[in-house]
Amino acid sequence: MFLGNPSHTAVSQTTISPPLEQQWRFDTGGSIYSSAAVDGERLYFASLPGRVYALAVTTGQPVWTFETDTEISASPALFKGRIYIGSKGGQFYCLDSGNGEPVWTIETKGKITASATIDDGVVYFASHDMTLYAARAKDGKLLWKTKLPGHAAANGIYSTPAVADGMVYVAEKSHNLYALDASNGQIMWKYRTDSAVYSSPSVKNGMVFIGGYDRQVRALDARSGKLIWKAQLDEWIYATPVPFGGNLYVGSKDGMLSAFNASNGELVWSLDLRGTISSTMAVARGGIGYVGNEDGEIFAISLEKGRIIWKEILADDGFHASPALAGGKLYVGTLNGYFISWGKNGAENR
């Protein structure tokens, strides 16, 4: 699922040691904002024109394609042999991961741009109808839905829900972050920021982290919503803050990747990656972070030292999707529609 787990820590158990070489590339013919879900033999992602793909991880060859009649920017969630993903037409799909056939569908009253999160057999997803939904993953039975008191005129919910310790956390564009009881959808607290929020929350050690278009990253108490600390950046934050070790890593629209002490918000280091960062960093075992920018550069960064240890540049392309790490490989899609695998001992591109 998006950022690897329900709490959005974006930390993988795989080891990926740079330098890397391209293993293969697959041309979808449309921009890719979706990140991949990987099950060992296949990977799953969507392209903006409305196609969901399953590719073989070793070759990049397509196994199946599912087509919708509207755009898809969300990332798929993978759970027990099924794929869960929403479309801008307002449909939320459960697909069989083996063949791409629909298992069940839920219709909402707004477009779906954010990804789903699955925890304990329940799938949580949000729509621009300003509603957060909880459905049983196996059969799509709606368990609850909660209308958030934000303003649909502010263009809804771009934030993927995070789930931790019996709570669901989700932000919406009209400035607010919410915590809801995961069992019944009751709103437990609301925190208002100073501008739009596109970032998804992440949760670790009893704190919720969120970035916003007010150029601030915040740490809140996960149970009460009380502000613990906030830090000011120089540009908008679109990507999700990533907690790893004792730090919090945040990319911003001016190309800065910043590390803050997760406990008190003190700046540890900052690194200028130059191009706009909309992609959320993924972390491999050993503390190596992988992130792309919209100028077509993909980086491996030593998180301990705040130093670039590898990069590749794709001319006339860019990255908005967040990387996925699995099986010793790096997978990510580009704005020009290529889905690419990097690893050791690069094979001929496909």
Give the pLDDT confidence of 154-191 residue by residue, as tens digits: 668 999 999 999 999 999 998 899 999 999 999 999 99
The residue type of 128 is H
pLDDT band at 347 (very low <50, low <70, confident <90, very high): very low
Q: Is the pLDDT of residue 103 over 50?
A: yes
Q: In what order do the strands lie in the sheet with 176-181?
A: 162-164, 167-171, 176-181, 187-192
Identify the pLDDT of residue 109. 94
Q: pTM for this one?
A: 0.94
Identify the pLDDT of residue 6. 76
Identify the pLDDT of residue 350. 35
Identify the pLDDT of residue 348. 38
Identify the pLDDT of residue 14. 85
Q: Is the pLDDT of residue 224 over 90?
A: yes
> Do the beta carbons of residue 64 and residue 54 sit within 8 Å?
yes
Identify the pLDDT of residue 153. 58
Q: Which fold has domain 23-340?
A: Methylamine Dehydrogenase; Chain H (2.130.10)
* CA 48 to chain centroid: 15
Identify the pLDDT of residue 346. 46
Average pLDDT for residues 234-247, to the nearest whole number?
A: 94
